[in-house]
Protein backbone atom coordinates (compact mmCIF):
# COMPACT_ATOMS: atom_id res chain seq x y z
CA UNK A 1 0.00 0.00 0.00
CA UNK A 2 3.02 2.27 0.35
CA UNK A 3 2.95 2.99 -3.38
CA UNK A 4 -0.52 4.53 -3.00
CA UNK A 5 1.03 7.22 -0.84
CA UNK A 6 2.80 8.52 -3.95
CA UNK A 7 -0.59 9.59 -5.29
CA UNK A 8 -1.25 11.99 -2.42
CA UNK A 9 1.71 14.34 -1.94
CA UNK A 10 1.81 15.98 1.50
CA UNK A 11 3.39 19.22 2.64
CA UNK A 12 5.79 18.88 5.55
CA UNK A 13 7.27 21.37 7.96
CA UNK A 14 10.87 21.37 9.13
CA UNK A 15 11.80 18.76 11.73
CA UNK A 16 14.91 18.14 13.79
CA UNK A 17 16.03 15.61 11.17
CA UNK A 18 15.52 18.03 8.29
CA UNK A 19 17.50 20.70 10.16
CA UNK A 20 20.28 18.14 10.78
CA UNK A 21 20.23 17.13 7.11
CA UNK A 22 20.41 20.76 6.01
CA UNK A 23 23.27 21.65 8.32
CA UNK A 24 25.23 18.53 7.36
CA UNK A 25 24.72 19.30 3.68
CA UNK A 26 25.86 22.91 4.10
CA UNK A 27 28.98 21.79 5.96
CA UNK A 28 29.82 19.19 3.29
CA UNK A 29 29.23 21.71 0.50
CA UNK A 30 31.54 24.31 2.03
CA UNK A 31 34.31 21.78 2.66
CA UNK A 32 34.14 20.55 -0.92
CA UNK A 33 34.07 24.06 -2.38
CA UNK A 34 37.02 25.15 -0.23
CA UNK A 35 39.04 22.13 -1.35
CA UNK A 36 39.49 23.70 -4.76
CA UNK A 37 38.17 26.37 -7.10
CA UNK A 38 35.39 25.22 -9.45
CA UNK A 39 36.62 23.90 -12.79
CA UNK A 40 35.68 25.39 -16.11
CA UNK A 41 32.42 23.90 -17.41
CA UNK A 42 32.53 20.99 -19.82
CA UNK A 43 32.01 21.95 -23.45
CA UNK A 44 29.09 19.50 -23.65
CA UNK A 45 27.50 20.70 -20.41
CA UNK A 46 24.49 22.26 -22.03
CA UNK A 47 25.88 25.58 -23.22
CA UNK A 48 23.53 27.15 -25.78
CA UNK A 49 24.53 26.54 -29.39
CA UNK A 50 22.78 29.63 -30.67
CA UNK A 51 21.61 32.71 -28.83
CA UNK A 52 21.95 32.50 -25.04
CA UNK A 53 18.89 32.34 -22.83
CA UNK A 54 17.67 35.68 -21.43
CA UNK A 55 19.25 36.82 -18.20
CA UNK A 56 17.23 36.16 -15.03
CA UNK A 57 15.77 39.65 -15.00
CA UNK A 58 14.38 39.34 -18.52
CA UNK A 59 11.23 37.66 -19.78
CA UNK A 60 11.56 34.31 -21.54
CA UNK A 61 9.81 31.12 -22.62
CA UNK A 62 6.06 30.81 -22.11
CA UNK A 63 6.00 34.11 -20.19
CA UNK A 64 7.68 36.29 -22.82
CA UNK A 65 5.65 39.44 -23.59
CA UNK A 66 3.87 39.94 -26.90
CA UNK A 67 6.22 42.22 -28.85
CA UNK A 68 3.51 43.64 -31.07
CA UNK A 69 1.24 44.36 -28.13
CA UNK A 70 4.08 46.01 -26.26
CA UNK A 71 4.85 48.20 -29.25
CA UNK A 72 1.28 49.44 -29.32
CA UNK A 73 1.12 50.35 -25.63
CA UNK A 74 0.46 53.96 -24.78
CA UNK A 75 3.41 54.13 -22.39
CA UNK A 76 6.54 51.96 -22.35
CA UNK A 77 7.07 49.64 -19.42
CA UNK A 78 9.67 50.97 -16.97
CA UNK A 79 13.01 49.24 -17.31
CA UNK A 80 13.65 46.56 -14.70
CA UNK A 81 16.71 46.95 -12.50
CA UNK A 82 19.77 44.96 -13.46
CA UNK A 83 19.67 41.38 -12.18
CA UNK A 84 21.79 39.67 -11.16
CA UNK A 85 23.64 42.67 -9.77
CA UNK A 86 27.29 42.56 -10.79
CA UNK A 87 29.70 42.59 -7.88
CA UNK A 88 27.06 41.87 -5.24
CA UNK A 89 28.98 39.42 -3.07
CA UNK A 90 26.11 39.21 -0.57
CA UNK A 91 24.01 37.42 -3.18
CA UNK A 92 24.15 33.86 -4.52
CA UNK A 93 21.95 31.57 -6.60
CA UNK A 94 20.53 28.19 -5.61
CA UNK A 95 19.40 25.75 -8.31
CA UNK A 96 17.37 22.60 -7.83
CA UNK A 97 18.77 19.79 -10.00
CA UNK A 98 16.11 17.30 -11.15
CA UNK A 99 14.04 18.70 -14.04
CA UNK A 100 15.39 22.19 -13.32
CA UNK A 101 19.02 21.95 -14.40
CA UNK A 102 18.81 18.41 -15.78
CA UNK A 103 16.07 16.42 -17.46
CA UNK A 104 14.90 13.59 -15.20
CA UNK A 105 16.17 12.48 -11.80
CA UNK A 106 19.91 12.27 -11.10
CA UNK A 107 19.45 9.30 -8.79
CA UNK A 108 17.82 7.32 -11.60
CA UNK A 109 20.66 8.02 -14.04
CA UNK A 110 23.13 7.08 -11.32
CA UNK A 111 21.20 3.85 -10.81
CA UNK A 112 21.40 3.05 -14.52
CA UNK A 113 25.16 3.45 -14.39
CA UNK A 114 25.48 1.20 -11.35
CA UNK A 115 23.32 -1.45 -13.03
CA UNK A 116 25.61 -1.37 -16.06
CA UNK A 117 28.47 -2.08 -13.66
CA UNK A 118 26.52 -4.96 -12.08
CA UNK A 119 25.97 -3.34 -8.69
CA UNK A 120 22.46 -4.78 -8.60
CA UNK A 121 20.04 -7.03 -10.48
CA UNK A 122 17.32 -6.38 -13.05
CA UNK A 123 14.61 -6.37 -10.37
CA UNK A 124 16.14 -3.24 -8.88
CA UNK A 125 16.53 -1.76 -12.37
CA UNK A 126 12.80 -2.21 -12.97
CA UNK A 127 12.15 -0.42 -9.70
CA UNK A 128 14.36 2.52 -10.71
CA UNK A 129 12.60 2.62 -14.10
CA UNK A 130 9.17 2.75 -12.46
CA UNK A 131 10.28 5.48 -10.08
CA UNK A 132 11.65 7.57 -12.94
CA UNK A 133 8.54 7.02 -15.07
CA UNK A 134 6.38 8.18 -12.17
CA UNK A 135 8.57 11.24 -11.64
CA UNK A 136 8.22 12.23 -15.30
CA UNK A 137 4.52 11.46 -15.68
CA UNK A 138 3.22 12.84 -12.40
CA UNK A 139 5.46 15.89 -12.33
CA UNK A 140 5.69 15.69 -8.51
CA UNK A 141 8.25 14.59 -5.95
CA UNK A 142 6.31 12.89 -3.16
CA UNK A 143 8.45 12.51 0.01
CA UNK A 144 7.60 8.81 0.38
CA UNK A 145 8.52 8.21 -3.25
CA UNK A 146 11.82 10.03 -2.92
CA UNK A 147 12.58 8.26 0.36
CA UNK A 148 11.96 4.90 -1.32
CA UNK A 149 14.39 5.79 -4.10
CA UNK A 150 16.98 6.90 -1.57
CA UNK A 151 16.59 3.69 0.47
CA UNK A 152 17.15 1.65 -2.68
CA UNK A 153 20.33 3.56 -3.49
CA UNK A 154 21.66 3.32 0.06
CA UNK A 155 21.23 -0.44 0.15
CA UNK A 156 23.18 -0.68 -3.10
CA UNK A 157 26.16 1.44 -2.05
CA UNK A 158 26.46 0.10 1.51
CA UNK A 159 29.97 -1.26 2.08
CA UNK A 160 31.46 0.50 -0.95
CA UNK A 161 34.19 3.13 -0.68
CA UNK A 162 33.26 6.77 -1.19
CA UNK A 163 36.25 7.18 -3.54
CA UNK A 164 35.00 4.25 -5.66
CA UNK A 165 31.55 5.76 -6.07
CA UNK A 166 33.00 9.18 -6.85
CA UNK A 167 35.12 7.73 -9.68
CA UNK A 168 32.14 5.83 -11.06
CA UNK A 169 30.01 8.96 -10.75
CA UNK A 170 32.36 10.82 -13.09
CA UNK A 171 31.87 8.11 -15.71
CA UNK A 172 28.10 8.03 -15.23
CA UNK A 173 27.88 11.79 -15.71
CA UNK A 174 29.48 11.45 -19.14
CA UNK A 175 27.32 8.45 -20.05
CA UNK A 176 23.87 9.60 -18.95
CA UNK A 177 23.77 13.15 -17.63
CA UNK A 178 25.92 15.50 -19.72
CA UNK A 179 23.47 15.60 -22.64
CA UNK A 180 20.45 16.12 -20.35
CA UNK A 181 21.39 19.57 -19.07
CA UNK A 182 18.81 22.23 -19.95
CA UNK A 183 20.71 24.92 -21.94
CA UNK A 184 18.31 27.63 -20.77
CA UNK A 185 18.83 26.90 -17.08
CA UNK A 186 22.56 26.54 -17.64
CA UNK A 187 22.59 30.05 -19.12
CA UNK A 188 20.75 31.42 -16.08
CA UNK A 189 23.38 29.91 -13.78
CA UNK A 190 26.13 31.36 -15.95
CA UNK A 191 24.58 34.82 -15.66
CA UNK A 192 25.06 34.65 -11.89
CA UNK A 193 28.62 33.40 -12.27
CA UNK A 194 29.40 36.19 -14.74
CA UNK A 195 28.07 38.66 -12.16
CA UNK A 196 30.66 37.34 -9.70
CA UNK A 197 28.16 35.41 -7.57
CA UNK A 198 28.41 31.88 -6.22
CA UNK A 199 26.02 29.29 -7.66
CA UNK A 200 25.01 26.17 -5.75
CA UNK A 201 23.03 23.09 -6.73
CA UNK A 202 20.46 22.04 -4.10
CA UNK A 203 19.19 18.50 -4.53
CA UNK A 204 17.98 15.35 -2.82
CA UNK A 205 20.55 13.42 -4.85
CA UNK A 206 23.66 12.20 -2.99
CA UNK A 207 26.00 15.09 -2.27
CA UNK A 208 28.84 13.27 -4.05
CA UNK A 209 26.80 12.98 -7.26
CA UNK A 210 25.63 16.58 -6.96
CA UNK A 211 29.21 17.78 -6.42
CA UNK A 212 30.37 16.04 -9.59
CA UNK A 213 27.59 17.69 -11.61
CA UNK A 214 28.29 21.12 -10.10
CA UNK A 215 32.00 20.82 -10.86
CA UNK A 216 31.41 19.67 -14.42
CA UNK A 217 29.12 22.66 -14.98
CA UNK A 218 31.64 25.07 -13.47
CA UNK A 219 29.38 25.93 -10.52
CA UNK A 220 30.56 26.74 -7.00
CA UNK A 221 29.38 23.56 -5.32
CA UNK A 222 26.39 21.51 -4.26
CA UNK A 223 24.06 20.86 -1.36
CA UNK A 224 22.85 17.26 -1.41
CA UNK A 225 21.80 14.31 0.73
CA UNK A 226 24.66 13.27 3.02
CA UNK A 227 25.18 9.53 3.40
CA UNK A 228 27.07 8.41 6.47
CA UNK A 229 30.52 6.94 5.95
CA UNK A 230 33.09 5.52 8.37
CA UNK A 231 36.75 5.41 7.32
CA UNK A 232 35.67 6.26 3.78
CA UNK A 233 33.12 3.43 3.51
CA UNK A 234 29.33 3.92 3.26
CA UNK A 235 27.36 2.54 6.21
CA UNK A 236 23.98 2.50 4.45
CA UNK A 237 22.57 5.25 6.70
CA UNK A 238 21.85 8.93 6.16
CA UNK A 239 22.85 11.95 8.22
CA UNK A 240 19.41 13.25 9.12
CA UNK A 241 17.10 12.62 6.16
CA UNK A 242 17.08 13.13 2.39
CA UNK A 243 17.60 16.75 1.40
CA UNK A 244 14.04 17.25 0.23
CA UNK A 245 11.38 19.89 0.81
CA UNK A 246 11.95 21.69 4.13
CA UNK A 247 15.42 20.14 4.45
CA UNK A 248 16.50 22.02 1.30
CA UNK A 249 15.38 25.28 2.87
CA UNK A 250 17.34 24.45 6.02
CA UNK A 251 20.45 23.72 3.95
CA UNK A 252 20.18 27.02 2.09
CA UNK A 253 19.60 28.88 5.36
CA UNK A 254 22.62 27.23 6.99
CA UNK A 255 24.88 27.89 4.00
CA UNK A 256 23.75 31.51 3.76
CA UNK A 257 24.59 32.05 7.43
CA UNK A 258 28.02 30.47 7.01
CA UNK A 259 28.74 32.47 3.84
CA UNK A 260 27.35 35.76 5.19
CA UNK A 261 24.78 35.98 2.40
CA UNK A 262 21.70 38.22 2.37
CA UNK A 263 18.91 35.86 1.35
CA UNK A 264 16.74 38.78 0.26
CA UNK A 265 19.34 39.46 -2.44
CA UNK A 266 19.70 35.78 -3.44
CA UNK A 267 17.87 33.82 -6.13
CA UNK A 268 16.51 30.27 -6.17
CA UNK A 269 15.26 28.15 -9.06
CA UNK A 270 13.13 24.99 -9.03
CA UNK A 271 10.52 23.03 -10.96
CA UNK A 272 8.69 21.50 -7.97
CA UNK A 273 6.11 22.76 -5.51
CA UNK A 274 7.99 20.73 -2.90
CA UNK A 275 10.68 23.43 -3.11
CA UNK A 276 8.35 26.29 -2.20
CA UNK A 277 10.01 26.49 1.26
CA UNK A 278 13.39 27.06 -0.42
CA UNK A 279 12.02 29.46 -3.03
CA UNK A 280 10.23 31.47 -0.34
CA UNK A 281 13.50 32.07 1.52
CA UNK A 282 15.01 34.28 -1.18
CA UNK A 283 14.15 37.63 -2.63
CA UNK A 284 14.27 36.36 -6.23
CA UNK A 285 12.38 33.05 -6.63
CA UNK A 286 12.02 31.48 -10.08
CA UNK A 287 9.83 28.61 -11.25
CA UNK A 288 11.67 26.61 -13.93
CA UNK A 289 9.73 24.01 -15.95
CA UNK A 290 7.18 24.19 -13.12
CA UNK A 291 4.73 21.49 -12.11
CA UNK A 292 1.08 22.51 -11.95
CA UNK A 293 1.08 23.45 -8.26
CA UNK A 294 4.26 25.49 -8.48
CA UNK A 295 3.04 27.30 -11.59
CA UNK A 296 -0.15 28.26 -9.79
CA UNK A 297 1.74 29.38 -6.68
CA UNK A 298 4.27 31.33 -8.75
CA UNK A 299 1.57 33.23 -10.63
CA UNK A 300 -0.29 33.99 -7.41
CA UNK A 301 2.87 35.39 -5.82
CA UNK A 302 4.19 37.16 -8.93
CA UNK A 303 7.25 34.93 -9.22
CA UNK A 304 9.00 34.68 -12.55
CA UNK A 305 8.59 31.55 -14.67
CA UNK A 306 10.74 29.88 -17.30
CA UNK A 307 9.76 26.80 -19.29
CA UNK A 308 12.39 25.14 -21.47
CA UNK A 309 10.40 22.01 -22.29
CA UNK A 310 9.19 21.43 -25.84
CA UNK A 311 5.54 20.95 -26.77
CA UNK A 312 2.74 23.07 -25.37
CA UNK A 313 0.88 19.99 -24.11
CA UNK A 314 3.88 18.99 -22.06
CA UNK A 315 4.09 22.51 -20.66
CA UNK A 316 0.42 22.55 -19.67
CA UNK A 317 0.43 19.26 -17.79
CA UNK A 318 3.85 19.79 -16.28
CA UNK A 319 5.72 16.83 -17.79
CA UNK A 320 8.36 16.43 -20.50
CA UNK A 321 7.39 15.31 -23.98
CA UNK A 322 5.91 11.80 -24.08
CA UNK A 323 8.70 10.59 -26.35
CA UNK A 324 11.06 10.87 -23.41
CA UNK A 325 9.01 8.40 -21.38
CA UNK A 326 8.93 6.01 -24.29
CA UNK A 327 12.68 6.20 -24.67
CA UNK A 328 13.09 5.53 -20.97
CA UNK A 329 10.84 2.46 -21.06
CA UNK A 330 12.61 1.17 -24.15
CA UNK A 331 16.02 1.69 -22.58
CA UNK A 332 15.03 -0.15 -19.42
CA UNK A 333 13.56 -3.03 -21.41
CA UNK A 334 16.67 -3.26 -23.56
CA UNK A 335 18.87 -3.38 -20.48
CA UNK A 336 16.81 -6.20 -18.96
CA UNK A 337 16.84 -8.13 -22.24
CA UNK A 338 20.60 -7.75 -22.52
CA UNK A 339 21.00 -8.99 -18.95
CA UNK A 340 18.89 -12.07 -19.75
CA UNK A 341 20.96 -12.88 -22.84
CA UNK A 342 24.11 -12.82 -20.76
CA UNK A 343 22.75 -15.48 -18.41
| d(C-alpha 222, C-alpha 33), whole Å | 8
Is residue 271 part of the annotated active site? The answer reads no
262 neighbors 242 (Cβ within 8 angstroms): no
Query: What's the start-to-end Cα distance of the chain, in Å?
Result: 33
Choose the catalytic residue: 42, 96, 148, 260.
96
Choose the catalytic residue: 98, 142, 271, 275.
98
Nearest residue to 59 via CA among 250, 262, 265, 307: 307
| d(C-alpha 248, C-alpha 266), whole Å | 15
Is residue 98 part of the annotated active site? The answer reads yes
Sequence-distant contacts of 160-168: CB under 8 A, at least 24 apart? 160/233, 160/234, 161/232, 161/233, 161/234, 162/208, 162/229, 162/232, 162/233, 162/234, 163/232, 165/208, 165/234, 166/208, 166/212, 168/113, 168/114, 168/117
- Residues belonging to the active site: 96, 98
Amino acid sequence: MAALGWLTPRRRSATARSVLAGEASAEAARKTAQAGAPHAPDEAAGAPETAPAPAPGEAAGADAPDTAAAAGAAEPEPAEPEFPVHGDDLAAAFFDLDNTVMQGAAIFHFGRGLYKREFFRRRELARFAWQQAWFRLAGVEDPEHMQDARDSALSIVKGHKVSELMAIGEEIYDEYMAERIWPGTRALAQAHLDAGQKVWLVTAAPVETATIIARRLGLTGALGTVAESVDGVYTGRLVGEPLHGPAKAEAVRALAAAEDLDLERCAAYSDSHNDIPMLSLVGHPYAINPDTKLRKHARANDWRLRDYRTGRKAVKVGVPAAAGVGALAGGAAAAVALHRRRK
